[in-house]
Copies of this chain bind each other. A is one copy, B any other.
Amino acid sequence: MEYYKPFLVILSCAVVVGIISIIFVLRWVLYYQGGLAWNGGLAEFNWHPVLNISGFIVLQGLAIIVYRLPWSWRCSKLTMKLIHASLNLVAFIFAVVATVAVFDFHNAAKIPNMYSLHSWVGLAAVIQYCLQLVLGVGLYLVPFMPVSWKMAFMPIHVYSGLILFSSVIAVALMGITEKLIFSLNNPKYKDLPPEAVFVNILGLLLVVYGALILWIATRQSWKRPNDQTLHSLNSDGGGEDGTKVGPALSQLSDAAEGEDFGEVRKRSNKYDDQVN
């Protein structure tokens, strides 16, 4: 497992930073901002950062890298696609409810909607995420879709997913900036009270989380090998019941350090490699 030590370190850091971010946003709204409720007031607004950070950022990040987890390679590609799509669907539902919360709050408080750059880029991200989900499911989960279509769309699907994820983090940073300016009055944001420091750190955590997820997602050597490669290693290292898949994956990990793994991948099914 030599090869996967850096992967496991980076993955652990990402998970820890993601969990700390969720704890931070919960502490922010529960301790500093009056808690959570669904009453049209500030406590309903508070669902907006909580759901967006936990769902639209942390969960979306995990959905992006779910194919990279070596222990998921014993699952079929279809299973992994379903998990990837489901996590993204849950993240999308979180984002929609978060958007409803802020519209409700604005309407009740007679604050105009959709005036800020935060709201413009944020709503664009929610709409693009919806489109990404619909196209992703349509192309990669609907049976009998032509392989040529899957292949042609894959670079756009991956690129669009990563840009969306980065944009959502940028939107969150704008949202934090807005909220701290509007909600801190005595002392003000510029006086840097404890809440400002605490939420600024939350912003930094989101940047670090994004950077870690993007590092994992863009390492070619950490990609899930195609099914043919996995099948041949499973056949060598274990039976159909998968009890010896662990050692087989370990061999794969070791092989991936040298040229041999690259050669195995080159020989294997090109289409499968590209559409996954």
A residues lining the B interface (CB < 8 Å)? 111-112, 115-118, 120-121, 155, 159, 163, 166-167, 169-170, 173-174, 176-178, 180-182, 189-192, 196, 199-200, 203-204, 207, 211, 214-215, 218-219
Closest B residue to A166 by beta carbon equals B166
Contacts of A177 in B (CB 8 A): 116-118, 174, 177-178
Closest chain-B Cβ to A110's Cβ sits at a distance in Å of: 10
The 4 A-B residue pairs with the shortest CB-CB distance in the complex, in nearest-first order: A170-B170, A117-B203, A115-B192, A117-B200
Known: A117-B204, A120-B203. 4 other contacts (CB 8 A): A115-B189, A117-B199, A167-B207, A177-B178
Contacts of A173 in B (CB 8 A): 117, 121, 170, 173-174
Distance, CA A169 to CA B191, complexed state (A): 26
Closest B residue to A158 by beta carbon equals B218
Closest chain-B Cβ to A158's Cβ sits at a distance in Å of: 9
Contacts of A182 in B (CB 8 A): 181
Asked if A117 contacts B180 (CB within 8 A), the reply is yes
Asked if A111 contacts B204 (CB within 8 A), the reply is no
A selection of 11 A-B contacts at a CB cut-off of 8 Å is: A116-B180, A117-B200, A120-B203, A121-B173, A121-B207, A159-B214, A163-B211, A167-B207, A169-B170, A173-B173, A177-B177
With A115-B190, A159-B218, A190-B112 known as contacts, the answer to whether A204 contacts B121 (CB < 8 A) is: yes
Distance, CA A196 to CA B116, complexed state (A): 8
Asked if B169 contacts A204 (CB within 8 A), the reply is no
Asked if A120 contacts B170 (CB within 8 A), the reply is no
Closest B residue to A169 by beta carbon equals B170
Contacts of A181 in B (CB 8 A): 178, 181-182
Contacts of A218 in B (CB 8 A): 159
Closest chain-B Cβ to A175's Cβ sits at a distance in Å of: 9
Closest chain-B Cβ to A170's Cβ sits at a distance in Å of: 4
Contacts of A170 in B (CB 8 A): 166, 169-170, 173, 207
